[in-house]
């Protein structure tokens, strides 16, 4: 009588075949019709995404109504920053050329948090020749203001150095006016 030492191998092979058939059948049943036509996704998803209303727009969309900010923004160092980066999505504010909502106005600590998203010296990855970074509270202590001050108490957010340079001029401070970093 010959012993069957490879019966466990046969069971593994049969089990793998059953799993393969089950997996193939599941793919046929559950995979969307256009899956894999153009890559590892549903081809129909491209059309669905293209038909969605856009949520974000260009700065020019915002600046058509906000003329005061436009004059300041386009001259300031933040001219390359999208309005939506700070203020939120355009389509939370305007739809079909009609105002549908008011975007939140940042106040107090929210302003500091927002500014430090780009201007925090602790984030070493920032290109300091392009973006002025500050360390808090040292920056406020150097300027001899309360450490509870928020950025907008000294800086106009759409043209950050405008108020600073104006204050230096009014106080007849002789040092060079601060210059915007290179764009």
The three-class DSSP label of residue 17 is: helix
Host domain of residue 88: 54-105
- Statement to judge: residues 26 and 62 lie in one domain: no
CA proximity to 150, closest of 132, 161, 137? 137
In a domain, 5, yes or no: no
pLDDT digits (tens, 9 = 90+) for 110-150: 999 999 999 999 988 878 888 889 999 999 999 899 999 99
Note whether 21 and 33 are same-domain residues: yes
The stretches of the chain forming alpha helices (DSSP H) are 7-30, 44-50, 59-63, 67-75, 83-87, 109-119, 138-142, 160-170
SS3 116: helix
Does one domain contain both 98 and 142? Answer: no
- Segment 94-112 mean pLDDT: 86
Q: Is 132 exposed, middle or buried (0-12, 13-18, 19+ CB in 10 A)?
A: middle
Q: Contact, 140 vs 149, CB < 8 A?
A: yes
Task: Write down which residue in 68, 86, 105 finishes a domain.
Answer: 105
Judge if 99 and 32 occupy the same domain. no
CB 126 within 8 A of CB 138: no
17 is a domain residue: yes
Instruction: Indicate whether 88 pLDDT > 70.
Output: yes
Residue at 2 is within a domain: no
User: How many domains is the chain partitioned into structurally?
Assistant: 3
Mean pLDDT computed over 4-28: 91
Residues 67 and 127 in one domain: no
Domain end call among 88, 105, 122? 105
Whether 117 and 177 map to the same domain: the answer is yes
Who's near 85: CB < 8 A, 6+ residues apart?
A: none
Percentages of the chain per state (helix, strand, coil), in multiples of 5: 50, 5, 45
33 in a domain, yes or no? Answer: yes
Q: Is residue 3 part of a domain?
A: no
C-alpha to C-alpha distance for 63 and 83, rounded to whole angstroms: 9
Q: Is residue 1 part of a domain?
A: no
Q: Is residue 88 one of the residues assigned to a domain? A: yes
Helix, strand or coil for residue 153?
helix
In a shared domain, residues 38 and 61: no
43, containing H or E segment: none
Per-residue pLDDT at 95:
82
Do residues 46 and 80 both lie within one domain? no
pTM: 0.61
Residue 77 inside a domain? The answer is yes
């Amino acid at each position: 009588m010959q012993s069957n030492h490879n019966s466990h191998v046969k069971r593994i092979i049969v089990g793998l075949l059953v799993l393969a058939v089950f997996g193939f059948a599941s793919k046929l049943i559950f995979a969307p019709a256009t899956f894999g036509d153009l890559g590892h996704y549903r081809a129909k998803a491209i059309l669905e995404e293209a038909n969605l209303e856009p949520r974000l727009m260009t700065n020019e969309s915002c600046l058509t109504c906000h003329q005061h900010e436009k004059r300041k923004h386009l001259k300031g160092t933040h001219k390359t920053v999208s309005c939506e980066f700070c203020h939120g999505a355009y389509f939370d504010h305007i739809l079909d050329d009609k105002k549908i909502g008011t975007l939140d106005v940042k106040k107090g600590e929210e302003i500091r948090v927002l500014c430090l998203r780009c201007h925090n010296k602790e984030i070493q990855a920032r290109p300091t020749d392009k973006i002025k970074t500050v360390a808090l509270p040292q920056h406020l202590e150097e300027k001899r203001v309360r450490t509870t001050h928020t950025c907008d108490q000294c800086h106009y957010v759409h043209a950050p150095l405008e108020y600073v340079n104006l204050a230096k001029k009014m106080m007849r401070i002789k040092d060079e006016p601060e210059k915007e970093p290179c764009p």
